[in-house]
């Protein structure tokens, strides 16, 4: 008893003290006093708060800048790339990086820098389209499963469990093997491999929102199922999915590179980063730059999406598994 009482007293002391002990808080408080921030205007608008939080999150801003640069590179490839991505120049094959060829040349004498610049377009295309499709499938199946429940829900849960058991690389490899290796089949394969995670996410969100009071009020006001689902539930459930999709785009780009590396993706002379790496592997000993730079480009891109996704998750204060 005595121990407990003293523990609770100590707890309060600790809590009280901890505000003083925390180095970070001290710094903030001093600043606040200096700037008279106690009377600072606190915006009521939710979007404005989000924007202010976003401005403070350096990682998210770095991520956003990387993605914007990537989009710029992808859109204006023709103007940025010094050479053509398909023009072969055999006398100049496997040259090391030089002022003329910044990242060297590959086994056909093509400029690796230019190919990476054009490759940004392909990575972006694959990332955006495949993630868009899988988010769409996920939202439709997840929300139907959660909202209607019952037998339909059971069937969809089993379907999601089955899909969940397949490792994504294997699943997309099989799908590409069925429909044939090309960039479009890679997009379809990635979309069909990744929708389950979005479906599970949106299902959980809607399940927890479904019993909220405002939904009951809406229903008693006479709204029908589709109005409730599309107008009242989804807009509130969709933000975690959008954050997951930002992270998912990074994954999709890696998966595209992996499939192309395995020879199951974009076919030559398409300058996909993955297929460039696949060729680079063959010439790893004599021309290591052809394996290094496309990989670095992939990493920076994926890093951009991961940084932005992480930042958005922190800003929106969303708890997500994995």
Partner 1 sequence: MINYTIHRLIMMIPVFILCSMIIFLILHLVPGNPVDNLLRPGSPPEAREQLIIEFGLDRPIHQQYIIWLKNIFQGNMGFSITEQRNVSELLLLKLPNTVALGVVSFLISFILGILLGALSAIKQNTIVDYGGMVFALLGVSVPTFWLGLMLMLIFSVNLGWFPISGYGDLKSLVLPAFTLGLAGAGLIARVTRASMLEIAQKDYIAIVRAKGISNTQVIIKHIFRNALIPIITLLGLRLGWIIGGAVTVEIVFNRPGLGRLLANSLFRRDYPVIQGALLLLIFAVMVGNLIADILYAYADPRIRYN
**HEC per residue, 68-115:** HHHHHHHHCHHHHCCCCCCCCCHHHCCCCCCCCCCCCECCCCCEHHHH
Among 24, 36, 39, 46, binds partner 1 (CB under 8 A): 24
- Rounded to the nearest 10 degrees, how much is the dihedral formed by the CA atoms of 146, 149, 154, 159? -30
Q: Does 5 bind partner 1 (CB under 8 A)?
A: no
112 forms part of the interface with partner 1 (CB under 8 A): no
Q: Is 142 in the site for partner 1 (CB under 8 A)?
A: no
C-alpha dihedral over 167, 256, 67, 280, to 10 degrees? 120
What region does 286 belong to: left with phi over 0, alpha with psi -120 to 50, or beta? alpha
| Identified binder of partner 1 from the candidate list 45, 47, 285, 317, rule CB under 8 A | 285
Residue 135 to residue 123: CA distance in whole angstroms = 18
Asked whether the beta carbons of 274 and 258 are under 8 A apart, the reply is yes
Could you give the string, one character per residue 146-185, with x where binding to partner 1 holds by CB under 8 A and - elsewhere?
A: ------------x--xx--xxxxxx--xx--xx-x-----
Of the CA atoms within 13 Å of residue 168, those in its CB half-sphere come to: 20
Stretch that binds partner 1, among 75-83, 118-126, 139-147, 277-285 (CB under 8 A): 277-285
- 246 touches partner 1 (CB under 8 A): no
306 binds partner 1 (CB under 8 A): yes
Minimum CB distance to partner 1, residue 15 (Å): 7
Q: Which residues pair with 111 in a beta bridge?
A: 105
Q: Is 11 in the site for partner 1 (CB under 8 A)?
A: yes
Residues 6+ apart with CB under 8 A from 237: 143, 202, 205, 206, 209
Chain centroid to CA 146? 24
27 forms part of the interface with partner 1 (CB under 8 A): no
Piece of the chain touching partner 1 by CB under 8 A; list 2-10, 95-103, 105-113, 236-244: 2-10
To the nearest whole angstrom, how small is the minimum distance from the Cβ of residue 173 to partner 1?
A: 6
| Interacting residues toward partner 1 by CB under 8 A | 3, 6-11, 13-15, 24, 158, 161-162, 165-170, 173-174, 177-178, 180, 250, 254, 257-258, 261-262, 277, 280-281, 284-285, 288, 291-292, 295, 298-299, 302-303, 306-307, 310, 321-322
């Amino acid at each position: 008893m005595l121990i407990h009482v003293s523990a609770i007293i100590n707890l309060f002391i600790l809590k009280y003290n901890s505000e003083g002990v925390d180095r970070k808080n001290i710094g903030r408080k001093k600043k606040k006093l200096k700037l008279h921030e106690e009377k600072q205007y606190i915006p009521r608008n939710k979007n404005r708060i989000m924007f202010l939080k976003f401005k403070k999150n350096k990682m998210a801003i770095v991520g956003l800048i990387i993605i914007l640069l990537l989009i710029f590179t992808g859109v204006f490839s023709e103007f940025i790339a010094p050479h053509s991505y398909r023009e072969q120049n055999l006398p100049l094959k496997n040259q090391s990086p030089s002022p003329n060829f910044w990242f060297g040349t590959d086994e056909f004498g093509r400029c690796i820098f230019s190919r990476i610049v054009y490759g940004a377009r392909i990575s972006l295309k694959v990332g955006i389209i495949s993630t868009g499709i899988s988010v769409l499938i996920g939202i439709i199946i997840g929300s139907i499963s959660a909202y209607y429940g019952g037998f339909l829900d059971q069937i969809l849960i089993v379907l999601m469990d089955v899909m969940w058991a397949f490792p994504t690389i294997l699943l997309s490899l099989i799908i590409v093997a069925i429909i044939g290796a090309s960039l479009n089949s890679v997009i379809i394969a990635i979309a069909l491999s990744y929708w389950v995670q979005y479906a599970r996410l949106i299902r959980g969100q809607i399940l927890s929102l479904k019993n909220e009071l405002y939904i009951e009020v809406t229903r008693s006001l006479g709204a029908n199922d589709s109005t409730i689902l599309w107008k009242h539930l989804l807009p509130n459930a969709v933000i975690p999915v959008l954050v997951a999709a930002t992270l998912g785009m990074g994954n999709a780009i890696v998966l595209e590179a992996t499939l192309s590396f395995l020879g199951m993706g974009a076919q030559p002379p398409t300058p996909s980063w993955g297929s460039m790496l696949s060729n680079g592997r063959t010439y790893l000993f004599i021309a290591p730059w052809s394996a290094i730079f496309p990989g670095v480009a992939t990493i920076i891109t994926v890093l951009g999406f991961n940084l932005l996704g992480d930042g958005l998750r922190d800003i929106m204060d969303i708890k997500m598994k994995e």
